[in-house]
Amino acid sequence: GSAMDLFGDLRRMNKRQLYYQVLNFAMIVSSALMIWKGLIVITGSESPIVVVLSGSMEPAFHRGDLLFLTNFHDDPIRAGEIVVFKVEGRDIPIVHRVIKIHEKENGNIKFLTKGDNNEVDDRGLYKEGQNWLEKKDVVGRARGFLPYVGMVTIIMNDYPKFKYALLAVMGAYVLLKRES
């Protein structure tokens, strides 16, 4: 079987090659983390890229679309804008449109959101007793998107076995890939 071939390959590979491949893998991971941190600084958003997980924003965005966010604090939130917000007690941010804004004299803004495809506004999604969102609840505002690129993420969340298989294949590839 191919599993025995795999272990044979690993055994034949000398220690130096193995260390090299492990370091190579560590560099790929750390580069990805550095790029992510860089995006967080540039965009002002704790989560500069998110995947749309539900159909609540169709036809504007579909499940699996990848959104690019920015979150600059001096930029006022406007009605009609699409925001990504977090609600206390929920781990997953929600992507919906701002439908109403209340601005106080002191410049504080409260706003209400709704999914384009939903019948009612989001008050049922906010934490109990909360009727409006504030700037602190916003993770970012949609600035651009790539259709369906995030489907891989959704598949990995819906089918954990697929996620582990994919990770195993990627790990084996990185470890066994020989420099030509």
Read off the pLDDT band of 9 (50, 70, 90).
low
* Terminal-to-terminal C-alpha distance of the chain: 25
**Sheet with 133-134, edge to edge strand ranges:** 49-51, 66-70, 138-146, 82-85, 94-103, 109-114, 133-134
Residue 113 · residue 98 · CB < 8 Å: yes
| Overall number of domains in the chain | 3
Q: CB under 8 Å to 171, separation ≥6 — which residues?
A: 25
Active site residue 102: no
Q: DSSP string spanning 125-139? A: TSPTT--SEEGGGEE
Read off the pLDDT band of 93 (50, 70, 90).
very high
Question: What is the rounded distance in angstroms from the CA atom of residue 17 to the CA atom of residue 21?
Answer: 6
Is the domain of 156 the same as that of 166?
Answer: yes
Note the pLDDT of residue 10. 64
Q: 45, 56, 65, 137: which one is catalytic?
A: 56
Is the domain of 111 the same as that of 54?
Answer: yes
Rounded mean pLDDT of 27-47?
95
169 vs 14, residue with greater confidence? 169
Cβ-in-10-Å burial (0-12, 13-18, 19+) of 95 comes to buried
Encode pLDDT of 106-131 as tens digits.
878 999 999 999 999 999 999 988 99
Active site residue 73: no
Q: Tokens for 83?
A: 């925001």
pLDDT reading at 47 higher than 60: yes
Q: DSSP string spanning 27-51? A: HHHHHHHHHHHHHHHHH--SSSEEE
Is the domain of 131 the same as that of 69?
Answer: yes
Is the domain of 65 the same as that of 138?
Answer: yes
Q: 45, 65, 122, 137: which one is catalytic?
A: 122
Note the pLDDT of residue 160. 87
Read off the pLDDT band of 158 (50, 70, 90).
confident
Is the domain of 139 the same as that of 53?
Answer: yes
Domain containing residue 152: 148-179
Domain of 94, CATH number, reads 2.10.109.10
Rounded mean pLDDT of 156-179?
82
For 3-12, 39-48, 79-88, 110-119, which range has the lowest pLDDT when averaged over its residues?
3-12
Q: 45, 65, 96, 137: which one is catalytic?
A: 96
